[in-house]
C-alpha cells in the first residue's frame, strides 16, 4: 500500500470516489489516552461529543485553546481500553503538553505511541476492510472510510480490491469534496468556524469543554470575519495563493486547488471575507470568472 505502487492519477481518483483507495497518513501521529476517566476527560478538551462513539469507530473533532483558536483537528478512535487521537504530527508534542496541563485528579494517562495510520477511503472501504486488525471507522472524504492503526513492526493488511493512492490524489479529492486540510487551508491562526468544519467537528449540545465559550459566542453572534468556501473555475487552474476579487476588490485568497479528472472544472478552496459569502457576488481569479460551488 505504498504510493509508488499507485495506478494512473485518474484511476486513483475513481477508486476514492467509487471503490476504495488507501494512503499512509505519515503526516499524522497518534496520542493514546488510557485510564478510567479517559472518555469524560477527553470529552472536556475537544469540541465534538465523544460519548456516542462505538467501539471500532472514530469521530472528527477540533482541539482549541482557551481563547478559541485551533490547536489541531483530529480523529478520535475508541478501542476497548483506550482512545486513539490521530493528530497532525507537527502538533503532537504541543498537544501532549496542552493536554497535560488540564489533567488534575483524573485517572488519565497520555502517551505518544508509534502506530502508523493507513487510511482507506471510498464507498466500498468499510466493506473491503471488514475484519482487518486495527480498523476503525473514519470518513475523511465524505464517501465513507476507515483508519487502520498499524503497530510498530507490523505489516498493514492488504487486499487486491483496495487501490493504493498518492498523497496528490488524496489531497485533490479532499479539495473536490470541500474537506479542508490542516496546515494548508487552516491552522493555528483560525477559529473552527473560519475553517468551515463546524457541522462535522463541533457539538453545541454536549456541555462544557475547553474553549467552548468562544466557539459558542462566535456561533451565536452569527458569523466570523472570514470563512473557507468552495469555488470552481473553468478553463484554467489558478495557483494556491491567488487573490479572489469581487467588484474590483480583493476579498480573499485561494488556499488549495485541484483540476481533478481531465475535463472537470478546477475545484478550489478559498478563505474569503464573510460579507462576500453573504452577498455571493460575481468572482474573479487571475482575470477569469470563478463560480460559487453548489
pLDDT tens per residue across span 196-253: 999 999 999 998 999 999 999 998 876 789 999 999 999 888 999 999 999 999 999 9
Strand-pairing partners, residue 34, are 109
pLDDT computed for residue 221 by the predictor:
78
166 within 8 A of 6, measured Cβ to Cβ: yes
pLDDT of residue 284: 96
In whole angstroms, what is the distance from residue 115 CA to residue 124 CA? 24
Q: List residues bridging with 135 in a β-sheet.
A: 148
b/e 236-267 (16+ beta carbons within 10 angstroms → b): ebbeeebebbbeeeebbebbbbbbbeeeebbb
Alpha-carbon torsion angle 33, 34, 39, 43, nearest 10 = -30
Homologous superfamily of the 3-176 domain (CATH): Probable tRNA modification gtpase trme; domain 1 (3.30.1360.120)
Classified as helix, coil or strand, 203 is coil
Please report how the helices 167-176 and 9-18 are oriented relative to each other, as an axis angle in degrees rounded to 10: 50
Number of other residues whose CB lies within 10 A of the CB of residue 211: 22
Could you identify the residue written with the cell 473560519? 194
Superfamily of 225-292 according to CATH: Aminomethyltransferase beta-barrel domains (2.40.30.110)
Cα 15 from Cα 124, distance rounded (Å)? 9
Q: How far apart are CA 54 and CA 77, in angstroms?
A: 9
Q: What is the rounded distance in angstroms from the CA atom of residue 54 to the CA atom of residue 32?
A: 17
Residues of the chain with pLDDT under 70: 1-5, 222, 294
As given in the structure block, the three cell numbers for residue 267 are 475545484
For the entire predicted model, the pTM comes to 0.95
Q: Check if the beta carbon of residue 134 is closer than 8 Å to that of residue 148.
A: yes
Alpha helices in the chain (DSSP H): 9-18, 38-43, 92-101, 125-128, 167-176, 198-201, 212-221, 274-279
CA distance 135 to 243: 41
User: Would you state the pLDDT for residue 5?
Assistant: 64
Q: Which residues have CB under 8 Å from 170's CB, separation 6+?
A: 16, 21, 23, 121, 141
pLDDT at 146: 98
Parallel, antiparallel, or unpaired: how do β-strands 83-88 and 145-150 relate?
unpaired
Residues ≥6 apart with Cβ < 8 Å to 148: 117, 118, 119, 120, 129, 132, 133, 134, 135, 136, 156, 157
Provide the pairing of β-strand 163-164 with 145-150.
Answer: unpaired
Structural domain boundaries in the chain: 3-176, 225-292
Amino acid at each position: 500500500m505504498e504510493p509508488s505502487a499507485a495506478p494512473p492519477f485518474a484511476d486513483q481518483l475513481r477508486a476514492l470516489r467509487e471503490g476504495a483507495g488507501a494512503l499512509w497518513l505519515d503526516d499524522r501521529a497518534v496520542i493514546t489516552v488510557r485510564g478510567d476517566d479517559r472518555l469524560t476527560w477527553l470529552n472536556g478538551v475537544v469540541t465534538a461529543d465523544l460519548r456516542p462513539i462505538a467501539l471500532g469507530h472514530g469521530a472528527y473533532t477540533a482541539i482549541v485553546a482557551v481563547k478559541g483558536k485551533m490547536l489541531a483537528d483530529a480523529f478520535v478512535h475508541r478501542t476497548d481500553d483506550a482512545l486513539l487521537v490521530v493528530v497532525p504530527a507537527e502538533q503532537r508534542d504541543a498537544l501532549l503538553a496542552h493536554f497535560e496541563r488540564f489533567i488534575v485528579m483524573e485517572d488519565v494517562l497520555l502517551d505518544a505511541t508509534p502506530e502508523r495510520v493507513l487510511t482507506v477511503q471510498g464507498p466500498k472501504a468499510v466493506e473491503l476492510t471488514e475484519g482487518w486488525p486495527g480498523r476503525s471507522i473514519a470518513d475523511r472524504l465524505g464517501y465513507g472510510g476507515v483508519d487502520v492503526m498499524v503497530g510498530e513492526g507490523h505489516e498493514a493488511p492488504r487486499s487486491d480490491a483496495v487501490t493504493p493512492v498518492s498523497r496528490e490524489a488524496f489531497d485533490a479529492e479532499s479539495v473536490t469534496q470541500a474537506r479542508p486540510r490542516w496546515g494548508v487551508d487552516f491552522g493555528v491562526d483560525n477559529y473552527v468556524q473560519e475553517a468551515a468544519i463546524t457541522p462535522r467537528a463541533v457539538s453545541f449540545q454536549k456541555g462544557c469543554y475547553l474553549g467552548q465559550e468562544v466557539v459558542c459566542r462566535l456561533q451565536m453572534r452569527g458569523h466570523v470575519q472570514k470563512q473557507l468556501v468552495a469555488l470552481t473555475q473553468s478553463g484554467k487552474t489558478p495557483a494556491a495563493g491567488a487573490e479572489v476579487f469581487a467588484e474590483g476588490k480583493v476579498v480573499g485568497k485561494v488556499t488549495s486547488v485541484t483540476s481533478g479528472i481531465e475535463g472537470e472544472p478546477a475545484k478550489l478552496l478559498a478563505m474569503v471575507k464573510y460579507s462576500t459569502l453573504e452577498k455571493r457576488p460575481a468572482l474573479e481569479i487571475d482575470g477569469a470568472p470563478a463560480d460559487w460551488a453548489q
